[in-house]
Amino acid sequence: MSHRAVFLDRDDTLVVDSGYIDHPDRVVLMSGAREAVQRFRRAGFKVVVASNQSGVARGYFDEKRLALINQRVRDLLAADGEGLDAIYCCPFLDGPDAKVDAYRRDSDLRKPRPGMLLKAAREMDLDLTRSWMIGDALRDIEAGVAAGCRTILIEGNGSDTSNAEPQPTHRTRSILEAVMIVERESASESEAERTRSKSAPPEDIKLLTEIRDILDRQQRETMHDDFSIKRLIGTLVQMLALVSAGWGAYAMFGDDAGAAVTRFALAGFLQLVVVSLTLADRRG
Ligand SMILES: [Mg+2]
């Protein structure tokens, strides 16, 4: 089964945004970020960062430096060696602010588009409909909604987003509040799943029950067919026995004793056949 994931924005969600972080030493975690990552992991989610890093296209730092910065983020968020499952970044930017030609482009990876989430889902076998996107900006929410995830907007910068489209599934003031929402909803989903699996028999049991019902039905139909054929034969033989007896009586009244004995014997024999058929029918 595909994994559930929590996608997290990086700057101002996990890491204090001090403006185009260009060195590992400038990485400072937001309050509660480390605890949040650990609790998402414990709740059974893959934890994936999806971050626009247009600083690469703007020429503030290169991808090698970005990798070092992200490694610092990973190290600070990890506990017992366990932390983020993956970091996806979009280094591209379209327009004149992109000073590095190689990175000047319109990219589906850049939020508010859902490219990074879709790519992660393909590469990590994630079920987006059971996943979350959490971030501090409306473009995070837009990307999450476009990918089919539930979303949480961490409001902190004071801007009014009440009329924004699309609306987030939830709004919070901190990442730990977001953790509580995800934990609460995944607990009630697990409970619903448990109830469903208790009330409904597993698929293989259902299949066996269906096969048994079909076999029972076929057996009953076969028995019914046998019974009808035996009864039909029995009735015919019974009629022949009666005809033979009548024919014997006719011979007797006609003083043909030899023919009468033969015909009565035939009638007796046929009657024995009828009795045998009846007994066989009852045993079957
Ligand atoms: Mg942000």
Give the distance (Å) from ligand 1 centre to CA of residue 122: 24
Q: Between the CA of residue 192 and those of 118, 169, 196, 229, what are the distances in Å?
A: 27, 20, 6, 54
- Cβ neighbourhood burial of 52 (10 Å; 0-12, 13-18, 19+): buried
Give the distance (Å) from ligand 1 centre to CA of residue 189: 29
| pLDDT band (50, 70, 90) for residue 225 | low
Instruction: Kindly state the average pLDDT of the residues 237-241.
Output: 86
With a CB cutoff of 8 Å and minimum separation 6, the contacts of 240 are: 270
Neighbours of ion ligand 1 (CB under 5 A): 9, 11-12, 136-137
CA distance 275 to 78: 88
Give the distance (Å) from ligand 1 centre to CA of residue 165: 18
Instruction: Kindly state the average pLDDT of the residues 147-154.
Output: 98
171/258 same-domain check: no
**DSSP letters along 98-130, please?**
--SGGGBS--TTSTTS-HHHHHHHHHHTB-GGG
Q: In the chain, how many domains are there?
A: 2
CA distance 24 to 67: 9
133/269 same-domain check: no
- Cβ neighbourhood burial of 245 (10 Å; 0-12, 13-18, 19+): middle
CA distance 257 to 118: 103
238/98 same-domain check: no
Give the distance (Å) from ligand 1 centre to CA of residue 15: 9
Specify the residue for token string 């393909």.
Answer: 122
CA distance 48 to 247: 99
pLDDT at 144: 98
**Domain end (from 199, 224, 246):** 199
Give the distance (Å) from ligand 1 centre to CA of residue 241: 100
Structure tokens at 91: 């280094």
- Apex 46 CA angle, 45 and 52, nearest 5: 125
Average pLDDT score over the chain: 90
**DSSP letters along 117-179, please?**
HHHHHHHHTB-GGG-EEEESSHHHHHHHHHHT-EEEEE--S----TT-SSPPSEEESSHHHHH
Give the distance (Å) from ligand 1 centre to CA of residue 121: 21
218/128 same-domain check: no
Structure tokens at 220: 């009953």
187/46 same-domain check: yes
Residue 281 has pLDDT above 80, yes or no: no
Instruction: Kindly state the average pLDDT of the residues 240-262.
Output: 85
**Domain end (from 199, 232, 267):** 199
Give the distance (Å) from ligand 1 centre to CA of residue 9: 6
Give the distance (Å) from ligand 1 centre to CA of residue 3: 24
29-84 confidence digits (pLDDT tens): 999 999 999 999 999 999 999 999 999 999 999 999 999 999 999 999 998 889 99
**Domain end (from 144, 175, 199):** 199
Nearest by Cα to 33 from 64, 72, 90? 72
Structure tokens at 247: 């024919």
Q: Between the CA of residue 275 and those of 59, 103, 237, 239, what are the distances in Å?
A: 105, 98, 10, 13
210/274 same-domain check: yes
Residue 235 has pLDDT above 90, yes or no: no
| Domain carrying residue 235 | 203-283
90-116 confidence digits (pLDDT tens): 999 999 999 999 999 999 999 999 999
50/188 same-domain check: yes
Residue 215 has pLDDT above 70, yes or no: yes
Give the distance (Å) from ligand 1 centre to CA of residue 18: 11
50/150 same-domain check: yes
Q: Which residues are catalytic?
A: 9, 11
Structure tokens at 94: 């379209």
Higher confidence at residue 112 or residue 270?
Answer: 112
Higher confidence at residue 23 or residue 223?
Answer: 23
Higher confidence at residue 230 or residue 93?
Answer: 93
